[in-house]
Amino acid sequence: MRFFEEREDAFLVGRERERVLFERFLNGDPEVRPVWSVYGTGGVGKSTLLDAFRRQARSHGAAFYLLDSREVGRTGEAFCEALSERMDLHDGRGAANGSPLDRVLERLHEEASHRRVAIAIDTFEEMSLLEGWLRDEFLRRLPSEALVLLSGRHPLRGQWLTSPAWRERTHWLAIDHLERDAVLDYAGKCGLAEPEQGERLWERTQGHGLSLALAVAAERIGGGGPVDLSSGWSSELAALWLKEVPDEELRELVEAASMLRYFNQEVLEHITERRVGASAFSGIAELSFVRKTGNGWRLHDLMRESTRAQLRERAPGKFRKLMERCVLYYATLIRESYRKRDVAAEVGELFYYIGDQNIRAFLNAADEQEYMWEPLSAANLEEGIRYLRRRRDEAKPVTRRGVDPATGELLELTLAKEEALYSIAGLDLAELAELGPHTVQLMKGTDGTVCGLSAMISIGADTLDYLERDPFSGPYFRSLTPAEREALAVPGPDPAGWFIRSIDILDWNDSSMLLEAGSQMYNYMCAGKLFVTSPPPLEMFRESHLGLGFRLLPNVTHCAYDGKTPAPAFALDTRGEKLEAFLAAMLRRIGVDLEPARGAAPGDPTRSPEERERRLAALGLTEREREVAQLAIDGCSNADIAARLFVTEITVKKHLSSVYAKTQVKNRGQLIKAILQ
């Protein structure tokens, strides 16, 4: 027995924080609270941790009584009987008379007088009928030295939070996924010594406890190869989680939610084409494998991917229809909203479905880490320079692996040391900062450390000369005809587009950094502008830009990265009606037809902003009146128009009154009809 316990402890990784806290209890630390709410999603490792606590208690000579709520009755008396069996109360010690509760409490007080006592209840979420009795009758009468661990999928709520007395006696202990280093350590302990084996486990499981144990077994039996998310260990995991969802209607919603990275009530109604009531949505939002994020609600990654894979295999027609509804939802939002607000989030979601395998594998990870983007200025220029110096000093080869969720294929991104520095080649931050206040932005973590940067040069009258001189952008801009150049020489703060000079991160192996940096592209791609870039001359960059819908420009190259290798240029043009054409082309890649825009027949030229501009000018509107009218036609409110044009709402109303008079209409609806039809 001792041998097996020692081996179990040897394989326990990544739970040092929790074991140190329990050690403090065993050593009599009075600061340790007597009730612990141990919570985490199904299979994350709560039961394994309780077993480790039991072994830890035994090594200290402490009492540890572990109960599973599924083995306990639904009454206080049945609970006491189950605990009596664990405590071996039939040995004759303790009160011969009295209730079962009295007998249990007397023994616990006796034990607590000479050693530490811990009582753990696993799967506590299934004891809802006994929770009130347990709190009010049992815990109140326990010896103050005893510890009670209530382990379940959800944290304690209700009176545990609202009562000051219980709140100050309760410690909430969230059990998270294991970190990458812990997974690699576990792989080594299990005899998977090759680095790619540990990395494959990390990519497959993301540190989820039960997934890790099942995946190790699959790895030992089957070795490498594609990650099959429709069978095997991931199916077992999905089945475990779905025990929380006995209701068939709720399971249908879980399937629909698995098609989305983030969801809310509105998008679920759209893709299922039926009403989702508030109570039904609350039911899915409260599941242990669902969490609230800044972008909406999200299924656990493993649950989402395994459920998607099973749905695709079991009901391919239903899977295809849901996928098409998701794609059209985001494409329509982009098309209808890009002139009114930032659509970067929608662009990112759209490419979850239409991106190539590299985008799916490397730019669709869970976005856990928060970053902020800070414009480069004289105040933080030195921070940017220190970042570049650190990048060069710490440069090393990069090997990054990712799993394509659509195929299960394990992909590898490799960069030699010198290639990892291409993205900052020739960067002069001080010179770039002079081109505009938002040309260079520093990516900072929550602690203020610079961990990345982007350099996006706006294209306009003030920057064209620089863009023609720069060795990275010059070949493209010098190739323009006079007419093409004139079209880009726009004055003022609203550019004709941007040239991507650089997007760089400190650690190319960090998923959250890579995702954040990649999402910078989404901020510009569907802005109705020209987007040009000349990335490093590596196959991965070529493929990723083509996957994003960029067009390879013929006969436009330079050798500025290393002095010898030709680097191509790419362009993405979404000006005017070209955005519609871009979206339609991207959707056709996956066999989906973009629906015609509302209020206009396919190919109707009146949808073009340029055609609107000509019509409004012909009606005698001033330049400012035309700007206001265009935004009103796009659906912007008076407040939105005022913010976009840096004027007051009163000024907007005056301009609209003049527009209505000149176009002989009475309101916005009539204006839209007059200009678009």
| Dihedral (Cα; 188, 190, 191, 194), 10-degree rounding | -40
pLDDT of 224 above 50: no
pLDDT at 603 over 50: no
The reported pLDDT for the residue numbered 332 is: 92
Lookup: tokens for 310? 């099973």
Do residues 313 and 402 both lie within one domain?
Answer: no
Domain end (from 317, 341, 362): 362
Q: What are phi and psi of 180, to 5 degrees?
A: -60, -45
Q: Is residue 193 part of a domain?
A: no
Q: Across 55-69, 234-248, 360-374, which has the greatest mean pLDDT?
A: 55-69
Strands (DSSP E) contained in 153-268 are 170-174
Contacts of residue 108, Cβ cutoff 8 Å, sequence gap at least 6: 87, 117, 119, 142, 143, 146
Phi, psi of 530 (to 5 degrees): -95, 130
Residues 612 and 486 in one domain: no
Q: Is residue 610 part of a domain?
A: yes
pLDDT band at 649 (very low <50, low <70, confident <90, very high): confident
Average pLDDT over residues 237-251: 79
Q: Is residue 212 part of a domain?
A: no
d(CA 545, CA 225): 27
Cα–Cα dist 482/654, whole Å: 39
Q: Would residue 269 count as lying in a domain?
A: yes
The beta strands (E) that lie in 276-388 are given as 290-293, 296-299, 372-375
Q: What is the three-state SS of 418-469? A: CHHHHHHCCCCHHHHHCCCCCCEEEEECCCCCEEEEEEEEEECCCCHHHHHH
Calculate mean pLDDT across residues 211-238: 59
Among 676, 527, 519, residue whose Cα is nearest residue 609: 676
Residues 631, 564 share a domain? no
Task: Give a yes or no: residue 395 inside a domain.
Answer: yes
Strands 290-293 and 117-122: unpaired
- Give the residue from 333, 362, 391 where a domain finishes: 362
185 domain-assigned: no
Q: Give the domain CATH number at 649.
A: 1.10.10.10
CA 84 to chain centre: 46
For 117-121, what is the mean pLDDT?
94
**529 and 400 share a domain?**
yes
Domain co-membership, 168 together with 227: no
HEC string of 523-543 equals: HHHCCCCEEEECCCCCHHHHH
Instruction: Assess whether 7 and 152 both reside in one domain.
Output: yes
How far is 200 from 588, CA to CA, in rounded Å? 33
Answer whether residue 605 shows pLDDT above 80: no
Instruction: Give the H/E segment covering residue 618.
Output: helix 609-618
Spatial separation of the C-alpha atoms in residues 84 and 62, rounded to whole Å: 17
Given 112, 143, 174, which residue is the final one in a domain? 174
Q: Between β-strands 372-375 and 440-444, what pairing exists: parallel, antiparallel or unpaired? A: antiparallel
At 219, is the pLDDT very low, low, confident or very high (cuts 50, 70, 90)?
Answer: low
Q: Which residues of 473-495 are buried (b: 16+ CB within 10 A; e: fewer)?
A: bbbbbeeeeeeeeeebebeeeeb
Domain span including residue 615: 605-676
Question: What is the per-residue pLDDT for 302?
Answer: 75
Residues 167 and 256 grouped into a single domain: no
Say whether both 402 and 436 belong to one domain. yes
What is the CATH classification number for the domain harbouring 81? 3.40.50.300
* Predicted local confidence at residue 359, as pLDDT: 78
Over range 212-227, report the average pLDDT.
Answer: 60
* Confidence at 529, pLDDT banded by 50, 70, 90: very high
**Has residue 311 been placed in a domain?**
yes
Banded pLDDT at 231 (limits 50, 70, 90): very low
Same domain for 147 and 8: yes
Task: Verify that 324 and 391 share a domain, yes or no.
Answer: no
We report the CATH number of the domain holding residue 484 as 3.40.630
Under DSSP, is residue 152 helix (H, G, I), strand (E, B) or coil? strand
| 629 within domain boundaries | yes
Cα 664 from Cα 395, distance rounded (Å): 65
| pLDDT above 50 for 173 | yes
Lowest mean per-residue pLDDT among 77-91, 282-296, 351-365, 449-463: 351-365
User: Contact at 8 Å (CB) between 474 and 467?
Assistant: yes
Residue indicated by tokens 């089945």: 239
Mean pLDDT value across residues 26-43 = 92
What are the angstrom distances between the C-alpha of 455 and each of 57, 376, 452? 56, 10, 11
Could you tell me if 135 and 40 lie in one domain? yes
| 410 lies in the same domain as 530 | yes
Number of structural domains the chain divides into: 4
Buried b (16+ CB within 10 A) or exposed e, 38-50: bbbbbbbbbbbbb
